[in-house]
Amino acid sequence: MRFMPLIWVTVFLVAAGCASNPDRAWPAGSIDVPDVWREASATDVATNLAWWTRMEDPNLTRWVEEAVHANHDLRIARARLREARAGVAASAAGFYPSVGVGAGMARQRVPAVSSPSGSVMEDTRYVAGFDAAWEVDVFGGTRAEKGAASARAERAVAELDAVRHSIAAETAAAYLAVRGWWRRLELAETNLALLSATRERIEALHAVGLAPALDVARARSQQEAAASVPPVMRAAAAAETYRLGVLTGLTPHDVAERLLATPPWVIPEEPIPAGLPSELLDRRPDLRAAEKALVASGFDRDAAEALRFPRFYLTGRYGREGLSAGDLSDSAQAAWSIGPSLVWPVFQGGRIRAGIEAADARQEAALARYEQAVLIALADVESALSGYAAHQAARRSLRQAAEASRRTAELARRSYDQGLIDFFEVLAAEREQAIRDDQLAEAETAVAIRFVQTYKALGGGPGEPDPGLQK
């Protein structure tokens, strides 16, 4: 018996040599990240990722800042982060001993073996004491569980950051869409007023015999057609307004009251500095979340592998037992025990092997999801850069076209007053002017939204820590 402690020490040392390595090597993805962007004209370091400040609209800044504090998706993400952190605390408890106290009373009836008459003995037993147990994490199972929980908590942090980035971009896009519909509605109402004035003028000329009835009919037709546009635009602006309310945690009534007249936004003409593709892996929170999910899957695989090996415990017990409750205060009734124990799952019908295979499959899926996330991120940036440049070019062309159409309409009205052209050409020129002005306003809105989408694809967003990270 005196050799038992030496035997146990030897077992522990041998087992420790077989333990899994906590500094495990994670499988690397096979995505070859390019050195430069295909659609970027320069590879300057991406700066000023708080993109909304570049539009010089204080109301836009206010809406974005309110959204990243009040949005309900963010509240959900913060709750998930707290849950993940609680999981880390729960997994870390495995490194400490567990202690429990208990007390009880039992009435027992047993045969008196030494009695030839076969009589029985009855008595009441009182017990009280505490038990302690500590699992020695020889094969790294507890370490792997804590590593997986920590990686999931880091993933929850990245997912919270991703939600904040997405909410900021969606809020800005909704705000800009409302502003864009307002601008187009203003142009539509101005055009309607112009056509109404033109119809009244033609009707006055017709009344004195200076304009044919055909011109009056054409003027009325074009005015009625123009009158159908503003109601549709108001409905579109209202829909975006209500979406802005959902993003910022406001009711439709409250958000509509707060959308007052605002200054025009400023869209920088120069290309957006995109930085290097390799920088994207650190800037985009969705990629960080996918990476942490992959890390967690590796730790899960280690935890499943550790179930194949024995589990070692140090256990202890101290208590008192007596025939009456008063005996529990008698030190002579004290009993204690301490010593190591071992549990080894020798046969479980293939359950452990199946668990390892399932963990391998989950890790393979996590790796595929990470690689897919990288591909999607690269495609997002290339598409955003291409779309932003294309819409900038379209805006420049439409700006020139709108200026030309305005000059054409002025010349047409002047020529009609001089009797050089008929009224049909005037209506055609005014219709062309209205179309070009509306196209320019739509292009301005599209450029603004593409500006937001490009910075979102690059990983731009709120830079200050989320309040949920401090809890």
200-247 pLDDT tens trace: 888 888 888 888 888 888 888 888 988 999 999 999 999 998 998 889
> Which of 52-56, 205-209, 327-331, 460-464 has the weakest average pLDDT?
327-331
Task: Please give the distance of CA 254 from its chain centroid, rounded to a whole number.
Answer: 26
Cα 277 to Cα 381: distance, rounded to the nearest angstrom:
9
pLDDT (tens digit per residue) in 42-79: 555 555 557 777 887 888 888 888 888 888 888 888 88
Average pLDDT, the chain: 80
Residue from 236, 315, 347, 259 nearest 60 by CA: 259
pLDDT (tens digit per residue) in 86-103: 888 888 777 777 777 877
Cα 154 to Cα 469: distance, rounded to the nearest angstrom:
11
Partners of 131 in the β-ladder: 100, 317
Amino acid identity, position 47: T
Longest dimension (CA), the chain: 142
Residue 84 in tokens = 């993940």
- Give the torsion sign (CA, 432, 433, 436, 441): negative
> Is 50 exceeded by the pLDDT of residue 1?
no
Residues 64 and 171 sit within 8 Å (Cβ to Cβ)? yes
> Which of 375-379, 395-399, 412-416 has the weakest average pLDDT?
412-416
Residues 129 and 104 sit within 8 Å (Cβ to Cβ)? no
The pLDDT, as a whole number, for residue 367 is: 92
Partners of 123 in the β-ladder: 108
The pLDDT, as a whole number, for residue 47 is: 52
pTM for the model stands at 0.77
CATH 1.20.1600.10 for domain 33-96+138-308+354-470, yes or no, is yes
Q: Which residue has the tokens 């993400």?
A: 77
> Is 50 exceeded by the pLDDT of residue 427?
yes
Q: Which stretch, 87-91, 149-153, 316-320, has highest mean pLDDT?
A: 149-153
Residue from 97, 96, 91, 98 nearest 144 by CA: 91
Phi, psi of 307 (to 5 degrees): -70, -15
Task: Please give the distance of CA 116 from its chain centroid, rounded to a whole number.
Answer: 80
Q: Where are the domains of the chain?
A: 33-96+138-308+354-470
Residue 79 in tokens = 């709750």
> Is 50 exceeded by the pLDDT of residue 20?
no
